[in-house]
């Protein structure tokens, strides 16, 4: 269903006229430039869809339009509507602003950090607050007030909340009341149409019982959204759920290339079938996100028509990191971008087939395999078949297990494939376009990496200027988009099929240990000491950034070690058990990011030690860790300054 734009519509982020994209989970419309930033954040932050060139379920589009027209954007810009924000210098982006850094910084603050949303009064037990919000959501969905429910969801209400007294979920209530748009909103935030209430009935049952037949049919579509989307991606059609057909399993068009003939393919499929339901569901969700990335990329390039925006921000080369997921899962997700069309189609078909088998209740054997191994098996299996396939094979993005999982046969096969690619034979038009696209994607990654470097360097310079002024000032002025008084561990309002996501702080070996024998202490170090240690951290981070910009990858490890020492010395200034939750959170981010930085830098060991390392990907992760360290250090400077001046 195409969207007819009205001249009165403006981009929610910069107020540009005639926005062509929508962020479904935010209930807003956005322009091309702002969309380029939204896409780089990932679907857990913003789910974008083109208003004209992407198929829309009519009620989903109606839901987004209703939220937009009723001021859903004010939820995400709550504090900016306060006149005091103008006095403090905080403002939203405008159409004339540059995409980087101006619009990008504002959009990240608005949706990733939730810097401008309304904040509830702090309570000791957050779970009680979430429960109260969820009960309000449970009551609100029987009405047509969508923006109220979106506001509750943004504050932490759970779409799948099971009401202990009522014995059902908000989706049961919305279905019974015939509130189709509320059902769409709940589904976007992860509500499951297949959940049973205390009477054993699903939302679909209540919709049918109430005579809301179109809503019942839509809920069934939502229930099979994942597999429907995968099938449509491959063959352009969906199952006819009305007739009881819930799966479409496409077949390979060329039987010569059918992976049924490959022993490696059979082994990979067997491993897929051995996954537990939980791991299989995660893999299916990741493939769903990759399908969305590929389809949105295609629409993006088609609609931009080679404009300057494409060369500046261009496609998203792989799925952005989701901090909710483990590093292993994020690496597996990024590997999906390296699958060529034939490999990816094979994986999608295998997932559809196994989803149908599992849905029909066939038993699943205990899993001894992991998703990484399965993805590697599927990627490697084409090396011996590539002579019959025009599409080149790609090495997988490096993972922690690569050196253990890669067999000598796989190495030999990949070398044969490489030799074949470097032959002097004729080059077809298809091969030429594939090489061209690969080069474009590589250039995009480099450009994005350099922009991250520049943005971080700017951030550090600002931090140093502020630090130098602290000795003369009684307070620190906050930057436009920072919110240092808000906890870093914020509720993300992005939604996958698992529901709302939480942007959690990494709690690995570098976390601040809780000392149960030590009483909480409200004492903080002097501002001068904290500034001095922050300057040491900043100096070492700048050395690391210079090494990244000059491609001196052998300098990563010594730089990370110096940063780790400086971070440890700074953390030692603070009491073992700070009374302030904000101080504890900032220290956890600081120390855990330093540990992550060391782990990432170790991946740049000599090639013979880790032969498949993607150095660009590693560098991107290194810079992200450095950025987190800088932000945490700056926040600790701000906290100690305010506390010591009070």
Task: Give the pLDDT score at 577.
Answer: 82
Say what the pLDDT of residue 377 is. 60
pLDDT greater than 60 at residue 57: yes
| pLDDT tens digits, 445-484 | 444 444 555 555 555 555 555 555 544 444 434 333 333 3
CA distance 296 to 540: 39
Question: In which residue are the tokens 């990741």 written?
Answer: 286
Confidence at 263, pLDDT banded by 50, 70, 90: low
What integer pLDDT is reported at residue 429 of this predicted model?
43
Q: What are phi and psi of 413, to 5 degrees?
A: -65, -40
| Residue 321: CB atoms within 10 Å | 18
**Is residue 298 a contact partner of residue 331, using CB atoms and an 8 Å limit?**
no
- pLDDT over 70, % of the chain: 67
Best CA proximity match to 468, nearest among 521, 399, 538, 417: 538
d(CA 218, CA 57): 9
pLDDT recorded at residue 307: 58
pLDDT value of position 542: 83
Most confident of 80-89, 484-493, 628-637: 628-637
For the chain, the structural domain boundaries read: 21-112, 126-223, 255-425, 443-484+505-645
How sure is the predictor about 640, in pLDDT bands with cuts at 50, 70 and 90? confident
Chain segment 410-437, per-residue pLDDT in tens: 333 333 333 333 223 333 444 444 444 5
Going along 480-631, which residue ranges are E strands? 491-496, 499-502
Q: Please return the burial class of 18, using the count of CB atoms within 10 Å of its CB with bins 0-12, 13-18 and 19+.
A: middle
> Angle at which helices 615-645 and 527-549 pack, to 10 degrees?
160
For 1-39, how does the pLDDT look when each residue is reduced to its tens digit (9 = 90+)?
Answer: 444 444 468 999 999 999 999 999 999 999 999 999 999
The correct CATH number of 21-112 out of 3.40.50.300, 3.40.50.1820, 1.10.357.10, 1.10.220.150 is 1.10.220.150
CATH homologous superfamily of 126-223 equals Ankyrin repeat-containing domain (1.25.40.20)
d(CA 628, CA 568): 15
Query: How far apart, in whole angstroms, are the C-alpha atoms of residue 325 and residue 355?
Result: 22
What local confidence, expressed as pLDDT, does residue 34 receive?
A: 95
Q: Are 30 and 48 in contact (CB under 8 A)?
A: yes
Average pLDDT of every residue of the chain: 76
Residue 305's pLDDT is what?
Answer: 63
Helix axes 170-177, 213-223, angle to 10 degrees: 150
pLDDT in tens, 138-197: 999 999 999 999 999 999 999 999 999 999 999 999 999 999 999 999 999 999 999 999
Question: How many other C-beta atoms lie within 10 A of the C-beta of residue 130?
Answer: 16
| Contact present, 155 and 118 (Cβ < 8 Å) | yes
Classify domain 443-484+505-645 by CATH number: 1.20.120.330
């Amino acid at each position: 269903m195409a969207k007819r734009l009205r001249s009165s519509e403006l981009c929610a982020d910069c107020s540009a006229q005639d926005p062509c994209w929508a962020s479904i989970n935010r209930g807003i419309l956005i322009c091309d430039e702002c969309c380029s930033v939204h896409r780089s954040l990932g679907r857990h932050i913003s789910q974008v869809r083109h208003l004209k060139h992407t198929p829309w379920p009519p009620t989903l589009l109606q839901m987004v339009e209703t939220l937009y027209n009723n001021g859903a954007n004010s939820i995400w810009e709550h504090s900016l509507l306060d006149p005091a924000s103008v006095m403090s210098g905080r403002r939203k982006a405008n159409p004339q602003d540059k995409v980087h850094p101006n619009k990008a910084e504002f959009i990240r603050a608005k949706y990733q950090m939730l810097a401008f949303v309304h904040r509830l009064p702090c309570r000791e037990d957050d779970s009680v607050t979430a429960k109260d919000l969820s009960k309000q959501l449970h009551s609100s969905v029987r009405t047509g007030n969508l923006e109220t429910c979106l506001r509750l969801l943004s504050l932490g209400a759970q779409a799948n909340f099971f009401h202990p007294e009522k014995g059902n979920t908000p989706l049961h209530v919305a279905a019974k009341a015939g509130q189709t748009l509320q059902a769409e909103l709940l589904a976007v935030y992860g509500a499951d149409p297949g959940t049973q209430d205390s009477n054993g009935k699903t939302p679909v049952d209540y919709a049918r019982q109430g005579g809301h037949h179109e809503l019942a049919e839509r809920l069934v579509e939502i229930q099979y959204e994942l597999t429907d989307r995968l099938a449509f991606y491959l063959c352009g059609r969906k199952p006819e759920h009305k007739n009881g057909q819930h799966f479409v399993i496409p077949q390979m068009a060329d039987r010569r290339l059918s992976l049924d003939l490959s022993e490696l393919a059979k082994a990979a499929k067997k491993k897929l079938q051995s996954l537990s339901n939980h791991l299989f569901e995660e893999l299916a969700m990741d493939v769903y996100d990759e399908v969305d990335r590929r389809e949105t990329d295609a629409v993006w390039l088609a609609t931009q028509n080679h404009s300057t925006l494409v060369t500046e921000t261009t496609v998203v080369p792989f799925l952005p990191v989701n901090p909710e997921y483990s590093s292993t899962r994020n690496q597996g997700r990024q590997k999906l971008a390296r699958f060529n069309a034939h490999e990816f189609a094979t994986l999608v078909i295998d997932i559809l087939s196994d989803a149908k088998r599992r849905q029909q209740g066939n038993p699943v054997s205990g899993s001894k395999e992991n998703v990484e191994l399965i993805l590697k098996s599927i990627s490697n299996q084409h090396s011996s078949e590539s002579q019959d396939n025009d599409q080149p094979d790609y090495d997988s993005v490096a993972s922690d297990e690569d050196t253990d999982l890669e067999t000598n046969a796989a190495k030999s096969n990949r070398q044969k494939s490489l030799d074949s690619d470097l032959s002097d034979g004729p080059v077809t038009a298809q091969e030429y376009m594939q090489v061209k696209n690969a080069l474009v994607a590589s250039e995009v990654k480099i450009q994005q990496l350099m922009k991250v470097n520049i943005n971080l360097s700017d951030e550090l310079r600002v931090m140093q200027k502020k630090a130098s002024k602290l000795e003369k000032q009684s307070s620190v002025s906050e930057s436009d988009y920072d919110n240092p008084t808000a906890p870093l561990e914020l509720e993300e309002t992005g939604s996958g099929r698992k529901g709302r996501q939480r942007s959690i702080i990494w709690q690995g070996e570098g976390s601040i240990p809780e000392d149960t024998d030590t009483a909480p202490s409200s004492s903080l170090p002097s501002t001068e000491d904290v500034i001095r240690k922050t300057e040491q951290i900043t100096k070492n981070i700048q050395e690391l950034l210079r090494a990244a910009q000059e491609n001196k990858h052998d300098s990563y490890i010594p730089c990370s070690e110096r940063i780790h020492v400086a971070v440890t010395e700074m953390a030692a200034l603070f009491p073992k058990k700070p009374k302030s939750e904000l101080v504890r959170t900032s220290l956890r981010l600081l120390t855990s990011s330093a540990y992550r930085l060391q782990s990432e830098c170790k991946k740049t060991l000599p090639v013979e030690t880790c032969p498949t390392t993607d150095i660009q990907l590693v560098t991107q992760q290194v810079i992200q860790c450095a950025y987190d360290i800088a932000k945490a250090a700056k926040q600790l400077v701000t906290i100690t300054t305010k506390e010591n001046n009070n």
